[in-house]
């Protein structure tokens, strides 16, 4: 184990431990830290070499830009320009919290952090440990999700230690992530803000604050090159094959697929209200609401691998805004293996993605 493991209960009281972590950041090292969305793999966002260390640790393509995490509005001015009134309103309502905004970057932000783009993504996290770490490090912290590139994001320190223990300088051991899905990303460089990645904060919440907001076509599966470069890569993939099942007759179809794949030891990710339909079968409960499902999805994908399941059969968790964000991640994990329950198993292609 190369990483220093630092347990944090209360970031404001445990000054020495927080100092140690911030010293590693100031010296150009890498620290995995909790946020309310998912755990982040952080380094000094204004230091090109530190940013390089992040790409190395994750095995991430270097054209995929990082999010800068800030502790206060002063840091926002340091890294971003042409902020505009709408962004300030969104910041006032949703920061600190699970919202990332994209702005024109200031010169101080190195090209290594932004993957060569002239824009920069910025978030003020709600998690106290995260904000205290940024404050003590006295620099914006660049942090992608803490997983190896292409794997499911990490929401619990145990998964961080298992996957990244040999790859980073320190890991802060803290609470599981409250939201469980990465932040909503909104591009603020256009007159009408554009959602580049869906998350807990949905379209209607954003529109209630700033009026009309668009959703990037790539998010809707309409084939444009995504404006958030990271959205084009294979994502969230466990070793198990994931199938997402939607539509009328969903439960019956899952039962059929379960029998079909029996030899590969399938597990069903199901809403709690459907538990009784799957009696005697292997099941992880997604809870009662899409919010509860969001919180457990990534850790379940990892658990399925740990327990040796070859197949995951995942229910649709709902069409509300958080539900759509959850299904956006699930469908990426499935790599296009989306089954419409009433489609009688025929494969057809839409938008270049195989649908069964």
Residues that bind ligand TXA (CB under 6 A): 35, 37-38, 40, 64-67, 100, 102, 114, 117, 119-121, 123, 143-145, 182-183, 185, 196, 227-231
Nearer of residues 65 and 323 to Mg ion, judged by Cβ? 65
- Of the candidates 271, 222, 229, the one whose C-alpha atom is nearest the C-alpha of residue 251 is 271
Torsion over CA of 42, 46, 47 and 50, rounded to 10 degrees?
A: 10
| Nearest approach, Cβ of residue 43 and ligand TXA (Å) | 12
Residue 12 DSSP label = T
Q: Which does 97 bind (CB under 5 to 8 A by kind): Mg ion, ligand TXA, none?
A: none
The DSSP annotation for 195-222 comes to: EEE--SS-HHHHHHHHS--EE-TTTTT-
For residues 198 and 266, which CB has a smaller minimum distance to ligand TXA in the complex? Answer: 198
- Between 233 and 288, name the residue whose CB sits nearer to Mg ion: 233
Query: Minimum Å distance from CB 254 to ligand TXA?
Result: 29
Residue 114 binds: one of Mg ion, ligand TXA, none (C-beta under 5 to 8 A by kind)? ligand TXA
How near is the Cβ of 248 to Mg ion at its closest, in Å? Answer: 33
Q: Which is nearer to ligand TXA, 154 or 334 (CB)?
A: 154
Measured from the CB atom, the residue of 159 and 315 that comes closer to ligand TXA is 159
Q: How far is the CB of 199 from ligand TXA (least distance, A)?
A: 7
Q: How far is CA 236 from CA 41, 151, 218, 298, 332, in A?
A: 16, 5, 17, 8, 7
- List the structure tokens of 67: 């999010």
| 59, 78, 107, 114, 234 from 64: Cα distances, Å | 11, 22, 19, 7, 13
CA distance 312 to 261: 10
- Select from ligand TXA, Mg ion, none the partner in contact with residue 332, using the beta carbon and a kind-dependent cut-off of 5 to 8 Å: none
- 6 bridge partner residues: 172
The least CB distance from residue 106 to ligand TXA, in Å, is 13
- Contact of residue 188 among Mg ion, ligand TXA, none (CB under 5-8 Å per partner type): none
In the complex, residue closest to ligand TXA by CB: 230
Q: Which is nearer to Mg ion, 41 or 90 (CB)?
A: 41
Whole-number Cα distances in Å, 109 to 64, 114, 122: 15, 8, 11
* Residue in the block written with tokens 């990426």: 332
């Amino acid at each position: 184990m190369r990483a220093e493991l630092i347990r944090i209960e209360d970031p404001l009281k445990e000054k020495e431990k927080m100092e140690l972590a911030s010293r590693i950041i100031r010296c150009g090292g890498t620290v995995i830290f909790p946020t309310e969305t998912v755990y982040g793999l952080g380094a000094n966002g204004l230091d090109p070499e530190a940013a390089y260390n992040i790409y190395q640790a994750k095995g991430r393509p270097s054209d995929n830009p990082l999010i800068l995490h800030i502790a206060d509005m002063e840091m926002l001015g340091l890294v971003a320009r042409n902020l505009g009134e709408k962004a300030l309103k969104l910041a006032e309502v949703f920061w600190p919290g699970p919202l990332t905004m994209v702005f024109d970057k200031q010169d101080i932000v190195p090209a290594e952090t932004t993957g060569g783009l002239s824009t920069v993504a910025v978030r003020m996290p709600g998690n106290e440990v995260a904000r205290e770490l940024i404050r003590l490090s006295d620099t914006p912290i660049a942090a992608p999700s803490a997983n190896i590139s292409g794997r499911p994001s990490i929401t619990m320190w145990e998964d961080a230690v298992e996957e990244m223990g040999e790859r980073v300088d320190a890991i802060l051991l803290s609470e599981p992530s409250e939201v469980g899905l990465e932040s909503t990303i909104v591009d603020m460089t256009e007159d009408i803000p554009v959602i580049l990645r869906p998350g807990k904060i949905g379209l209607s919440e954003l529109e209630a604050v700033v009026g009309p907001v668009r959703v990037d076509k790539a998010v809707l599966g309409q084939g444009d090159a995504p404006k958030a470069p990271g959205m084009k890569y294979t994502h969230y993939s466990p070793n198990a094959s994931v199938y997402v099942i939607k539509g009328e007759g969903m439960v019956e179809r899952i039962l059929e697929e379960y029998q079909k794949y029996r030899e590969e030891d399938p597990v069903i990710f199901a809403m709690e209200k459907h538990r009784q339909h799957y009696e005697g079968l292997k099941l992880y409960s997604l809870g009662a609401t899409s919010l509860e499902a969001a919180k457990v999805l990534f850790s379940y994908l990892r658990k399925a691998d740990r327990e040796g399941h070859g197949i995951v059969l995942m229910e649709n968790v709902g069409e509300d805004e958080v539900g759509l964000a959850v299904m956006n991640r699930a469908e990426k994990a499935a790599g296009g293996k989306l089954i419409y329950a009433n489609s009688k198993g025929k494969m057809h292609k839409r938008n270049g993605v195989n649908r069964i």
